[in-house]
């Protein structure tokens, strides 16, 4: 039995976890866990795993570690010990436990799918080779930067079957900012680029990346970066975020708005809570900021024909790009065998599509509706080295489960390879695969 005297002898300490950790923290007594949230990303840490580690490394008993939450939602860790235990040392240990455990439960709150955090140290995974994340070089001065997968919308025409209602995507990925920027810097230097456009896009919504401002800032730190641009559906836009992005010199936002009509907006986004009015207000807010705005509607023949005319008029009204860039990039509806297609809608040929855009230019006064790369200062360049050929048999190491059933990722020759029909592969094992597709250093293979 512990005497009152020994209890009094114990020193008490408090760690303010809310200030310490770069997350919003929720304490759940029912689940005996801390939930850590940053934007769409969340993960849970079991309280016992922190307590047990503290007991293992310090003269502190597990029952003397208590997690508390106050009225202002501040979460603290309180502990008592007979000897002096530096809060700095406990802080470091808590951070270590979190960085070990968080990836195991990471979750994308907008898609409700498990999420894998890709870091430099994760099994040597390179950031070139995948369609889903990393850096893509298609032989121009524009590099595609993909930091996160997953999208909160369920557009019925989604070419990559994204969103919470996706029938094919079972997992999301997020990439560490520094690792992504280092890969970008390497590609820029391998290509000897001078005027680079770093274009944030992806299979999903790039603006859901919780470290977006930091990423834009770091891409701009490369002296060869001329433009940093981003695609977005507008779901995560806020005035505060636009201000922060303007501050770090984001050059352009390509905003997909497919209608100016609220009901049509709900139908085309697949969400009853799609905030079209708010997104339109924010489009005007961008147009009045230092960031250029490109409206990028998808023209779905027979569905939003009238809306396209309205969007052209809207773009003429809010145009603030001057002659720097076009303000409108109307997209042609295309059928996709890996994505979602709208019933009964046929795609237009590009010649018909361009002809109709020319007619719009004449009738409504929009200019440069048929977009060309030179309008964005994009031009062809050498590609980075492409180390594997189609039909080549490669010895590769399995490193990750993919985004679809039976898909895994393997690595070879410093490239990531999507391996399909890989039912029996297990992480860490070596397998032989045949490359079946290789375009722009994006590799698909099958086991042999």
Sites of contact with ligand SF4 (CB under 6 A): 151, 153-155, 158, 162-163, 204-205, 233
For ligand SF4, the closer CB: 78 or 238: 238
From the CB of 117, what's the least distance to ligand SF4, in Å? Answer: 21
User: At how many degrees (to 10) do helices 350-364 and 305-318 cross?
Assistant: 50
* Angstrom distances, CA of residue 361 to CA of 155, 312, 317: 28, 9, 15
Least separation in angstroms between residue 331's CB and ligand SF4 is 10
Q: How far is the CB of 151 from ligand SF4 (least distance, A)?
A: 3
Residue among 153 and 250 whose Cβ is closer to ligand SF4:
153
Nearer to ligand SF4, 130 or 196 (CB): 130
| Residues 165 and 205: beta-carbon distance below 8 Å | no
Rounded least distance, CB 279 to ligand SF4, Å: 12
Contact (Cβ atoms closer than 8 angstroms) between residue 380 and residue 140: yes
**Smallest gap from residue 155 Cβ to ligand SF4 (A):** 3
Measured CA to CA, the distance from residue 224 to residue 189 in angstroms comes to 9
Q: Identify the three-state secondary structure at position 274.
A: coil
Q: Which is nearer to ligand SF4, 233 or 438 (CB)?
A: 233
Phi, psi of 385 (to 5 degrees): -55, 140
* Torsion over CA: 274, 280, 285, 288 (sign): positive
- Minimum CB distance to ligand SF4, residue 153 (Å): 4
> Tokens in use for 434?
């045949």
CB of 231 to ligand SF4, least distance (A): 8
Long-range contacts of 158-161 (CB under 8 A, 24+ apart): 158/339, 158/340, 159/334, 159/336, 159/338, 159/339, 159/340, 160/203, 160/204, 160/336, 160/338, 160/339, 161/338, 161/339, 161/340
Rg (CA), the chain: 25
Both tokens of residue 347? 């795609």
Q: Give the nearest distance from C-beta 115 to ligand SF4 in angstroms.
A: 16
Which residues face 87 on adjacent strands?
none
Nearer to ligand SF4, 330 or 412 (CB): 330
CB of 204 to ligand SF4, least distance (A): 5
C-beta of 157 vs 325, nearer to ligand SF4: 157
CB atoms closer than 10 angstroms to residue 68: 12
Residues 6+ apart with CB under 8 A from 136: 128, 143, 144, 146, 440, 441, 442
Residue 202 or 447 with smaller CB distance to ligand SF4: 202
Nearest to 143 by CA among 200, 89, 208: 200
Choice between 126 and 152, CB closer to ligand SF4: 152
Nearer to ligand SF4, 67 or 299 (CB): 299
């Amino acid at each position: 039995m512990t005497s009152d005297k020994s209890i009094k002898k114990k020193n008490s300490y408090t760690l303010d976890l809310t200030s310490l950790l770069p997350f919003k923290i929720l304490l759940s007594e029912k689940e005996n866990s801390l939930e850590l949230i940053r934007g769409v990303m969340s993960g849970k840490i079991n309280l016992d795993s922190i307590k047990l580690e503290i007991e293992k490394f310090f003269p502190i008993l597990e029952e003397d570690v208590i997690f508390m939450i106050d009225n202002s939602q501040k979460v603290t860790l309180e502990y008592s010990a007979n000897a002096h235990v530096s809060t700095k040392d406990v802080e470091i240990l808590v951070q270590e436990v979190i960085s070990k455990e968080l990836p195991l439960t990471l979750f994308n709150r907008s898609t409700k799918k498990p999420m894998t955090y890709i870091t430099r140290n994760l099994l040597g995974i390179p950031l070139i080779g995948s369609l889903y994340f990393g850096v893509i070089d298609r032989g121009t001065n524009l590099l595609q930067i993909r930091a996160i997968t997953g999208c909160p919308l369920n557009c019925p025409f989604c070419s990559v079957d994204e969103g919470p209602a996706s029938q094919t995507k079972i997992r999301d990925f997020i990439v560490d900012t520094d690792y992504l920027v280092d890969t970008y810097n390497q590609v820029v230097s391998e290509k000897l680029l001078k005027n680079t456009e770093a274009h944030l896009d992806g299979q999903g919504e790039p603006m859901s990346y919780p470290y977006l401002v930091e990423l834009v800032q770091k891409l701009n730190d490369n002296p060869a970066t001329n433009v940093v641009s981003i695609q977005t559906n507008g779901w995560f836009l806020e005035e505060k975020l636009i201000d922060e992005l303007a501050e770090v010199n984001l050059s352009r936002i390509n905003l997909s708005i497919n209608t100016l009509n609220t009901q049509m907006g709900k139908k085309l986004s697949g969400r009853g809570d799609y905030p079209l009015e708010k997104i339109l207000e924010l489009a005007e807010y961008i147009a009045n900021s230092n960031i250029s705005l490109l409206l990028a509607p998808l023209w779905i023949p027979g569905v939003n024909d009238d809306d396209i005319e309205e969007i052209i008029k809207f773009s003429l009204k809010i145009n603030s790009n001057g002659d720097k860039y076009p303000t409108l990039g109307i997209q042609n509806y295309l059928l996709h065998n890996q994505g979602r297609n709208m019933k009964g809608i046929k795609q237009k040929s590009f010649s018909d599509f361009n002809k109709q855009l020319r007619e719009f230019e004449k009738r409504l006064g929009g200019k440069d509706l048929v977009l060309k790369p030179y309008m964005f200062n994009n031009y062809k360049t050498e590609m980075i080295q492409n180390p594997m050929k189609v039909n080549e048999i490669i010895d590769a190491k399995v490193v990750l489960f993919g985004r679809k059933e039976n898909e895994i990722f393997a690595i070879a020759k410093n490239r990531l390879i999507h391996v399909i029909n890989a039912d029996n592969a297990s992480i860490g094992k070596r397998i032989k695969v045949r490359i079946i597709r290789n375009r722009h250093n994006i590799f698909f293979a099958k086991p042999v």
